[in-house]
Amino acid sequence: MSEFEIMKKRLEDTGLYDIEPGGIVYAELKAYAAGLDLLFDEAEELIRECFIPTAESYGLELREELLQRVNLLNTLEGRRNALINAFSLSSGDFTAEGMEKVAASFNARGYFSYDMTQHKLTFHCLDSVSAENKLLMKAQMERFIPAWSRLEIV
């Protein structure tokens, strides 16, 4: 029900108003309703964009910019899932399973291998990734590996 219909019904329910098309009260309610509809539409969009599971545009863009994330799956659901995974990372994720979560936060398909002799962790990315995005992924993944190890993305 539109704001006009809600206001009209409430006024008519009092028994004091008979709101007919072409009347002054009708025109005034139409004007109020037009402004309120715009306001409520904006508020509804703002509430939707505040939460990752319902965000569709700037709510996702602002968070992606904040995290400077590479997202290899540029669909709405892919972007949402990547951000949820990224924000769920914690200091407890300095583990092999944690690295899988880090890869999931990029929507990256692949696997990790570890060379104990060289202290090198390698992420074998199965997706096509530009050199620039590999550097960004590497910088963000390095936060979750031991200081004595190095990371390579292939």
Rounded-to-integer distance, Cα 121 and Cα 118, Å: 9
pLDDT of residue 73: 80
What confidence tens digit (pLDDT) does each residue in 87-140 have?
988 888 878 888 888 888 888 889 999 998 999 999 999 988 888 888 888 988
What confidence tens digit (pLDDT) does each residue in 14-71 have?
989 888 999 899 999 999 999 999 999 999 999 999 999 999 999 999 999 898 877 7
pLDDT of residue 49: 97
Instruction: Kindly report the pTM of this predicted structure.
Output: 0.74
Evaluate if residue 1 carries a pLDDT over 80.
no
Q: Tell how far CA 138 is from the center of its chain.
A: 22
pLDDT of residue 90: 85
pLDDT of residue 148: 86
Distances from the Cα of 46 to the Cαs of 9, 12, 64, 79, in angstroms? Answer: 28, 32, 17, 18
Mean pLDDT of the residues in the chain: 90
pLDDT of residue 44: 96
pLDDT of residue 72: 79
| Helix spans in 14-75 (H) | 24-49, 58-67
Distances from the Cα of 58 to the Cαs of 19, 88, 103, 145, in angstroms? Answer: 41, 20, 24, 31
